[in-house]
Amino acid sequence: MATPLSPDQLLTALRAEGLEVVEHRGWRTNNRNHKGPWGPMHGVMIHHTVTSGTASSVELCYNGHSALPGPLCHGVIAKDGTVHLVGHGRANHAGSGDGDVLQAVIAERELPPDNEASTDGNRHFYGFEAINLGDGKDPWPAEQLLAIERAAAAVCRAHGWSQRSVIGHLEWQPGKIDPRGFGMEWMRGRIGERLGSTPKLPPKPKPPAAAKPRYEPFPGAAFFKAGRNSPIITAMGRRLVAEGCGRYTVGPGPQWSEADRKSYAAWQRKLGYSGRDADGIPGKASWARLQVPNV
C-alpha cells in the first residue's frame, strides 16, 4: 500500500534505474481520475500492446480509442528499450480482476489462479505496455526485456516493494494472455536480482514552490476607500461587469470610485443582501464569491 508517486518522482526513479525516458506531451495530467480514485498503489502490471511501430503505439496508448479512452497505461516500452511516459493517474490498463490476486500482491506471496473479475485494477496498479504483436512470433529484443525489468524495479524500489509486486495482465484478469512471449516468473526473477543489487535510490525532489493563489484574497474593508489606487480594484470591477452588476460610465479603473461602490452594492443585492449589508463596501463572504482573479 502506497501513495502514488508524483510525476517527478516517477520520472526520477525510472532514470535512476538507467532507463532512457521520453516525456510525451501532457503526460503529467493525462488520466481518468474523473472516473474513480487512483491509489493506494499495490503493484506494477505488465502488458503487450498488440501493435507495431513506436510512434503509433505511443499515440494509441496516450489517446485510447473509441471503445476505451486513454491513457491505456502509464508508460510504453519500445523495442529499443526507451520508455515513453503517456499518463499519470488512473489509466485504462488493468480493468477488473481477481481480488484474491490483489491480496497476494499486497502480501507479496505466490499468486492464486485468476478466476474472477470483480476488483478495480486501474486504481491500484501502475501499468507498462510493451510494444509487441502478442502473437507468440514477434520477438522480444534484449533491450526491451531489460527495460521492462528496469521499469518495474524502479517503481518497486521507490515504494520498497519486492518483485512479488509485479504481475502480468494474464495473472490478473481471466482470459488475458499478455504479456505473451516470456514468463512472468522468469521476469520476476530478473527484477528480484536487480532489487537485490546496490539500491539506486532517486534523490528526494525539491519541494514545489508555493502556488500563487488563483483568486485575490480579501484585502479588508478598509482597503476600499477614496483615493485607493490598485490593480485589484480594476480586476474587481471587471468581475462585477461580468456578473451584470457594473454601474460604470467609464472604466472600470484602478482608483476606488463611487461607481465601484454602486457596482459592488449591486453585487451584494444579487447575493441577497439588503440594507446596511448592501452598502457597496466589500465584505469577506461576498468577496470570496466574486472570485477576483489574482493580479
Task: Mark whether 68 and 145 lie in a shared domain.
Answer: yes
All 3 cell numbers of residue 293?
A: 482573479
Per-residue pLDDT at 295: 83
Last residue of a domain, one of 178, 195, 212: 195
Task: Mark whether 108 and 150 lie in a shared domain.
Answer: yes
Domain that residue 144 falls in: 7-195
Whether omega for the bond prior to residue 69 falls within 30 degrees of 0, making it cis, is no
pLDDT tens-place string over residues 13-71: 999 999 999 999 999 999 999 999 999 999 999 999 999 999 999 999 999 999 999 99
d(CA 131, CA 1): 29
Instruction: Quote the mean pLDDT of the chain.
Output: 94
Task: Mark whether 89 and 176 lie in a shared domain.
Answer: yes
Task: Mark whether 164 and 232 lie in a shared domain.
Answer: no
DSSP string, 214-228: SBPPP--GGGSSTT-
Closest by CA to 136, choosing from 175, 95, 74, 180, is 180
185 in a structural domain: yes
Q: Dihedral through CA 226, CA 231, CA 236, CA 237, nearest 10?
A: 70
Task: Mark whether 188 and 228 lie in a shared domain.
Answer: no
207 in a structural domain: no
Task: Mark whether 250 and 185 lie in a shared domain.
Answer: no
274 in a structural domain: yes
- Kindly provide the residue ranges of all beta strands, DSSP E only, lying in 63-178, ordered along the sequence: 64-65, 68-69, 75-77, 83-85, 96-97, 119-120, 125-130, 166-168
208 in a structural domain: no
pLDDT tens-place string over residues 203-245: 556 666 666 668 999 999 999 998 899 999 999 999 999 999 9
Burial class of 204 by CB neighbour count within 10 A (0 to 12, 13 to 18, 19+): exposed
d(CA 93, CA 128): 9
Last residue of a domain, one of 151, 177, 195: 195
Per-residue pLDDT at 199: 46
d(CA 163, CA 149): 10
206 in a structural domain: no
Task: Mark whether 246 and 168 lie in a shared domain.
Answer: no
Q: How many domains does the chain have?
A: 2
CATH number at residue 78: 3.40.80.10
Task: Mark whether 250 and 168 lie in a shared domain.
Answer: no
Per-residue pLDDT at 202: 47
